[in-house]
Structure 1
Amino acid sequence: MAPTTDPATTDLDRVIGFTIPGRHARGRVARLGPVLHAILSAHAYPPVIERLLAESLTLTALLGTTLKNAEGQMTLQAQTEKGIVSLMVCDYKDGELRGYVKFDAERLARLGKNPSLHALFNKGYLAITFDQVTTKERYQGIVPLDGETIAQAAESYFLQSEQIPSVVRLGVRRDAQGMLIAGGIFLQHLPEGEVGRERLHVRLDHPEWQHVEAMGATMGADELADPALPLETLVWRLFNEEPEVRLLGGTSLARGCRCDATYIQQVLTKFPETERAEMADENGVISVDCAFCSTKFPIALADFVPDAL
């Protein structure tokens, strides 16, 4: 079913950033609609997996848009060895999102309608990677997949990996036409930058951050995923009593899968001619499926230059 939400009266597929100088905090708010539909419609996921991927893509949009350079890439990956969900991958690059989930359908069918994160993943880990293409810098943090939800797992990640207290709230709902809408808010404490200053987590209290944290916790799923509610209004509802809240502009989101036949053929060229022959069917065609978009790419052996003797 194609998305039917009227874009003229909704706020979808966008992320905005903001700072609260008086509280030493920053945040981002995101909402996904048609982009989410385009990604999910490429797969026949059951509702539980759709919700998991919708929340994870929203989290990826929130974190990915913190990249300063458009060429940078952010990847979120959750993986286990014996979990019902064996692998989940989402990534963001220059406003484009993609993602997929690999899972055991038979074992999933034996669970209830609202399984916990632990029930889906068992003992797993969460890896978040930031690749800064222009500077060639790459940062990756890996932590145990803790919490009952992907939002709680993200909060645990920032506390363990970066020692930065954070608030993550994610919400998913269906609109009147049955299309899935997902929204999220991400709040973080900003280091004040003084040399030798104590980290926030070792102090007994920090009223500035505690206030931001408490306000963020009041944001419900219905508001986050309400397409009729502008993102700026969400920020205003939470922090309208603050002396100053600075909006940092927005980023439009799109579905983006970077696979194409030319790229796949280049990858296959790296394999020896004999191995390519083993991959091909009786018609001399190698079929390659993209896990992200479920597109099949038929690559004929005749299209390759024979290996030099």
Structure 2
Amino acid sequence: MIEIEATDSILSFAIPAKNCRGRVVRLSSTIDGILSAHDYPPVIRDILAEAVCLTAMLGALLKDEQSQLTLQAQTEAGVINLLACDYKDGALRGYVDFDRERFAQQPIDPSLMALFGKGYLAITFDQPGPGGRNQGIVPLEGASLAEAVQNYFFQSEQIPTLIRVAMQETNGDVTVGGLLVQHLPEGEEDRERLHVQMDHPEWGHVHIMGNSIQPEELTNVALTLEDILWRLFSESDEVRLLSGKPCVKGCRCNEDHIRDVIARFPKEDKEDMVDEEGNIAIDCAFCSRIFTITGASLNN
């Protein structure tokens, strides 16, 4: 039996009779930790919460603990300049770089197009060994980031996919939850797909059931992740729980890591990094911390 907490967790599942797999995730303290590192307006905060939730569900598709999933939204003439999130073995991080002056001129509820302009969504799977790096880039289109990721799977991976994300704020605390379900007819996982049938009867049934999920179900911490799956799918099919994974805020910046990165630069470049006081200041956008390394210590 898989034991998984009702929040800050990812639960992977399969519906064998319908050739479907999926992930359900809920984040509370993890997403609060990521958001609290920045002073984001509510709209930007919500965009990042959605992106981190999507990153968790996509990252859970990876099987190797050393693999990493990176989600980036790059824009042209958008209020948001860059959105970046990544996942590695349950550790999540993310940040948004945006123009505060232009954001202040936006309506109360700006559209995705207003925020990102002509944007592109890049999803990168970095895996050790033969898997290597695989990246898909698609136009950032749709009413939400979740819809844009659905478009990614259809256009780049040719996998029928349903994604739903919901967020709730209570007394300043944020909870975000998500559901991802995919159709893999005839066990086509990890193989080149020869066709896509969005109207396949197996997928049509699962899509209808999955699409019935309510936002409050995804964010209700009193409802376990298993309960969500039983409510959606168990009346007509076996729901097989595959694995559970706890999630944490996981910025990997620390002094040792920074020293290792700087050490890879040529001597001339490292000398250019040193300021007048003999220090190198590294600003981590993910955790909003500045790490100061003395130039002299790099020669030890």
TM-score surpassing 0.5? yes
Q: Counterpart of 1:58 in 2: which secondary structure? A: helix
Q: How far did 1:114 drift?
A: 2.1
Corresponding residue SS for 2:186:
coil
Distance 1:30 1:259, change over 3 A: same
* 1:212 matches 2:206: yes
Q: CA deviation at 1:22?
A: 1.5
**Where does structure 2 lack aligned partners over 5 or more consecutive residues?**
none
Whether 1:142 and 2:131 are equivalent positions in the alignment is: no
Match in the other structure for 1:223: 217
Q: CA RMSD in A?
A: 2.1
**Aligned partners of 1:30 and 1:231 also within 8 Å:** yes
Q: 2:114 aligns with which of 114, 119, 131?
A: 119
Q: Is the 1:72–1:134 contact (alpha carbons within 8 Å) kept by the matching residues of 2?
A: no
> Structure 1 residues 31 and 262 mapped into 2: Cα distance closer, same or farther (>3 Å)?
same
Q: 1:224 offset after TM fit, Å?
A: 0.7
- Counterpart code for 1:259: C
Paired residue type of 1:149: S
- Residues 52 and 274 of structure 1, relative CA distance in 2, 3 Å threshold: same
- What runs of 5+ residues in structure 1 fail to find an aligned partner? 1-9
**Greater mean deviation of Cα atoms: 238-247 or 56-65:** 238-247
Deviation at 1:297, TM superposition (A): 0.6
Q: Which residue of structure 2 lines up, in the alignment, with residue 289 of structure 1?
A: 283
Q: 2:196 aligns with which of 177, 193, 200?
A: 200
Is the alpha carbon distance of 1:196 and 1:135 closer, same or farther for their aligned partners in structure 2, counting shifts above 3 Å? closer
Structure (1 or 2) with the larger CA radius of gyration: 1
Scaled by the length of structure 1, what TM-score is found? Answer: 0.89
The offset of 1:275, in angstroms, is 4.3
Go from structure 1 to structure 2 and tell me whether the alpha carbon gap of 1:275 and 1:67 turns closer, same or farther (over 3 Å shift). Answer: closer
* AA at the equivalent of 2:110: P
1:12 alignment counterpart: 7
Q: 1:28·1:186 contact (CA, 8 Å) conserved in 2?
A: yes
Alignment match of 1:255 (pick from 249, 258, 261): 249
CA distance in 2, matches of 1:197, 1:297: 46
Q: Which amino acid aligns with 1:125?
A: Y
Corresponding residue number in structure 1 for 2:179:
185
Q: What is the TM-score with the length of structure 2 in the denominator?
A: 0.92
Residue 19 of structure 2 contacts residue 187 of structure 2 at CA under 8 Å; is this kept in 1? no
Tell me whether 1:174 sits opposite 2:169 in the alignment: yes
- Whether the 8 Å CA contact 1:155–1:168 is kept in 2: the answer is yes
| Preserved CA contact (<8 Å) 2:122 2:135 | yes
Distance 1:129 1:84 in 2: 23
- Cα offset for 1:267? 2.7
Of residues 133-142 and 241-250 in structure 1, the stretch that sits farther from structure 2 once superposed is 133-142
In the superposition, relative to structure 1, how do residues 71 and 296 fare at CA in structure 2: closer, same or farther (>3 Å)? Answer: same
Secondary structure of 1:264's aligned partner: helix
**Alpha-carbon distance between aligned partners in 1 of 2:260 and 2:27, rounded to the nearest angstrom:** 33
CA deviation after TM superposition for structure 1 residue 65, in Å = 0.9
Three-state SS of the structure 1 residue aligned to 2:299 is coil
Given that 1:57 and 1:97 are in contact with CA atoms closer than 8 Å, whether structure 2 keeps it comes out as: yes
Partner of 1:68: 63
Aligned residues: 294
- Which moves more between the two structures, 105-114 or 166-175? 105-114
Query: Which of 265, 269, 275 is 2:263 aligned to?
Result: 269
Matched, 1:165 2:152: no
Find the counterpart in structure 2 of residue 6 from structure 1. Answer: none
Distance of 2:30 and 2:232 partners within structure 1: 26
My pick for the range that moved more, 183-192 or 281-290, is 281-290
